[in-house]
Amino acid sequence: MDKPILTFFCELETEPLTTLFASPDLLTQIKNLGARVSLGILDLSPERAAIVQRLNSEGIPVHAWLLLPKEQGYWFNLDNITQAYERYEKFKTWSHEHNLRWDAIGLDIEPDIRVVEYLRHSHWQGYWYLARQAFNRDRGESGRQAYQLLVNRIRRDGYFTESYQIPLIVDERRTGSSLLQRLLGIVDLDVDREVLMLYSSFVRPIGDGYLWSYAFDAQAIGVGSTGGGVNLEGVANTRPLSWAELQRDLLLAFQHTDFIYIFSLEGCVEQGFLPLIRELDWQQKPYIPIQATKQVDRWRRWGRLGLWVLARPWVPALALLMLLTMLFRNRRK
């Protein structure tokens, strides 16, 4: 392809969402880009349905980015499986009542937002909660199976399925571990398209190396953030990307995939990025961040080693036994 298929995440409450789409030329700009919108389903209101109807009428593909109320964890994870099922059923009813068309259903797999709040305001309380979950082996596999059944149900209803995943899932998958899934509540799912959220703004100054390192394992890549979204102040560096940074990330991502997701639409509108994206020369070769990638790769290797060992506790136990045996024999000699 000479240019990627772009999808813009949009995560706004009802009033600012209505204000955003009140702009007379926004839909035209999205159509000119040949882009899609992954709309955060923060509520099941008539106003949100009206926005989807407008997008449908203009022929702009819309993905339903399923979310929960914040008191239920907001993102989908091992702590809110029941609520995820209930949300999907209510979403189907709402879509039918308003005759809404969806090109895909997206499951955002991230830690419970309440845990993020713990980490922001009471670090030790958050760490203690995570440590307890890490040793709860039962919830990992049973939770994954339950969520996979939900994915299968969505497919049977005729929808294309997506998951929006934090990239650490790739390293865990390689090592055969489930520690991070239990620790963070994330779920490794078999979906039609997995989008790795490689937001370089969260890992400055090596964000470009972070993106490039994980991009080799990505079916689709999420870049950002250009602004908006949940307030993660105190947890991550959330300063929005500049145009130079977004352009760099878009070009790097296009070296690996034809499917690029941009977080967020509202951030791009606020910073005036949509016309710049339309004029972007996708055939230019980006600067490859070799040094930053090497640094990220080193961290990933050490992380995978730790996950591999923790997934096989008999390995260090056997090594310790062999060491003690050798010391005992040497002592006898």
- DSSP string over 266-286: HHHHHHTHHHHHHT--TTSPP
DSSP string computed for 219-238 = SEEEEE-SS-SS--TTTS--
Round to the nearest angstrom and report the end-to-end CA distance of the chain: 71
Q: Are 191 and 134 in contact (CB under 8 A)?
A: no
Q: Which fold has domain 5-332?
A: TIM Barrel (3.20.20)
Q: How many CA atoms within 13 Å lie on the side-chain side of 209?
A: 16
The tens place of each residue's pLDDT in the chain, 333 residues long, gives: 899 999 999 999 999 999 999 988 999 999 999 999 999 999 999 999 999 999 999 999 999 999 999 899 899 998 899 999 999 999 999 999 999 999 999 999 998 776 666 556 555 555 555 555 655 666 667 888 999 999 999 999 999 999 999 999 999 999 988 888 888 889 999 999 999 999 999 999 999 999 999 999 999 999 999 998 876 555 455 799 999 999 999 999 999 999 999 999 999 999 999 999 999 999 999 999 999 999 999 999 999 998 888 776 545 555 555 555 566 566 555
d(CA 101, CA 1): 26
H-helix or E-strand containing 197? Answer: strand 193-197
Whole-number Cα distances in Å, 223 to 72, 198, 254, 284: 26, 5, 11, 18
Upper half-sphere CA count for residue 91 (Cβ side, 13 Å): 25
Question: Is the full-model pTM beyond 0.85?
Answer: yes
**Tokens for 7?**
């999808």
- Specify whether the CB–CB gap between 224 and 9 falls below 8 A: yes
Helices (H), the chain: 14-21, 26-32, 46-57, 81-97, 113-121, 123-134, 137-156, 168-175, 179-184, 207-215, 243-254, 265-271, 273-278, 290-311, 314-332
Are 141 and 184 in contact by the 8 Å Cβ rule? The answer is: no
Domain ranges of the chain: 5-332
Radius of gyration of the chain, Cα coordinates, nearest whole angstrom: 22
Say if residues 8 and 262 touch (Cβ distance below 8 Å). Answer: yes
Distance CA 321, CA 305 (A): 20
CA distances from 330 to 139, 210, 316, 317, 322 (A): 45, 47, 21, 20, 12
SS3 55: helix
DSSP letter for each residue of 122-172: -HHHHHHHHHHHHT-HHHHHHHHHHHHHHHHHHHHTT--EEEEE-THHHHH
Written as one letter, the residue type at 194 is: E
Question: What pLDDT was estimated at residue 314?
Answer: 45
CA separation for the pair 47, 55 (Å, rounded): 13
Residue 230 is predicted with a pLDDT of 73
